[in-house]
């Protein structure tokens, strides 16, 4: 069964802290994505990666960075957390050779920055 | 650039009644269209997808959607709603020109009355 896991379901951090959100997929997918989800705005793409060590900016990359050192793992980094980064963060993955564009999602991490 | 609009933010429906969720997209070429569902506290699960061919698509949990190119719409329907269908529903569009990225609508939250 397809599986995308995220390191934490809930996280509370203080303003200015460095925050790491981890995502792991066990499907050998090439593509991985980080979204944030806010009420009324749907999902907005922060960063994505087509391959190990490759990354591309999405629609709202400001204040975030990413790391992909291994194919199965994609990390989202908030260098200096701010209250406006309080949100639900969703990780997803997809395959280049499978059903194109179909993304598989993790359960999400609800981050609160105080 | 592609975009997706879900005009209804909230919909309340009685259990056993029919449900239709609207989705309008904007994209110049043939889009790839998806409906995802997010139950409370969960990640997103794919309900159905349209790539080509028959414009009426069947999905899981008794849902179906119809692609209407002339109206740029991909509305989701279910003939008889169950209490477990209470969730948030997201329409998404992908396209070859956009690589493997999806653009999501703002979501429609469905409440089911007993």
| Model pLDDT for residues A75-112, shown as the tens digit of each residue | 999 999 999 999 999 999 988 765 567 889 999 999 99
**CA dihedral of B35, A58, B41, B13, whole degrees rounded to 10:** -40
Band (B27; pLDDT cuts 50, 70, 90): confident
Q: What is the pLDDT of residues B46-88, one digit of tens each?
A: 999 998 888 899 999 999 999 999 999 999 999 999 999 999 9
**Closest of A75, A74, A91, A83 to residue A111, by C-alpha:** A83
A108 with B43: Cβ contact below 8 A: yes
Instruction: DSSP letter for B97, please.
Output: G
Tokens representing B21 are 């969720």
Q: CB within 8 A of A92, min separation 6: which ones? A: A4, A32, A33, A35, A103, A104, A105, A106, B44
- Going by their DSSP bridges, the two strands B45-50 and B108-113 should be labelled as unpaired
User: Nearest CA of chain B to the CA of A25: how many Å?
Assistant: 14
Identity of the residue in A43, A48, A107 whose CB atom sits nearest the CB atom of B104: A43
Query: What integer pLDDT is reported at residue A39 of this predicted model?
Result: 87
Which residues in chain A have Cβ-Cβ distances shorter than 8 Å to B6? 42
Residues in chain A: 114
Identity of the residue in B6, B102, B106 whose CB atom sits nearest the CB atom of A103: B102
Which residues in chain B have Cβ-Cβ distances shorter than 8 Å to A104? 46
Backbone φ and ψ of A75, nearest 5°: -110, 140
From chain B residues 68-87, the ones with a CB under 8 A of any chain A CB are none
Q: What is the pLDDT of residues B96-105, one digit of tens each?
A: 666 678 899 9
Identity of the residue in B36, B43, B92 whose CB atom sits nearest the CB atom of A107: B43
A105 with B44: Cβ contact below 8 A: yes
């Amino acid at each position: 069964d397809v599986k995308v896991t995220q390191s934490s379901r809930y996280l509370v951090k203080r303003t200015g802290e460095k925050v790491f959100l981890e995502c792991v997929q066990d499907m050998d997918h090439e593509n991985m994505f980080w979204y944030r989800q806010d009420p009324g705005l749907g999902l907005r793409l922060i960063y994505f990666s087509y391959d190990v060590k490759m990354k591309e900016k999405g629609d709202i990359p400001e204040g975030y960075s990413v790391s992909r050192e291994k194919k199965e793992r994609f990390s989202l980094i908030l260098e200096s957390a701010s209250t406006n980064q309080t949100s639900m963060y969703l990780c997803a993955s997809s395959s280049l050779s499978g059903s194109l564009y179909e993304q598989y999602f993790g359960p999400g991490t609800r981050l609160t920055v105080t | 650039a592609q975009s997706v609009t879900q005009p209804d933010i909230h919909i309340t429906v009685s259990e056993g009644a029919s449900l239709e969720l609207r989705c309008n997209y904007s994209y110049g070429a043939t889009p790839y269209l998806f409906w995802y569902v997010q139950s409370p506290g969960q990640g997103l699960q794919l309900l159905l997808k349209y790539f080509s061919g028959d414009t009426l698509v069947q999905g899981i949990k008794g849902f179906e959607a119809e692609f209407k190119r002339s109206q740029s719409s991909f509305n989701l329907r279910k003939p008889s709603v169950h209490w477990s269908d209470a969730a948030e529903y997201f329409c998404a569009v992908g396209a070859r020109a956009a690589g493997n990225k999806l653009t999501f609508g703002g979501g429609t939250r469905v409440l089911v009355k007993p």
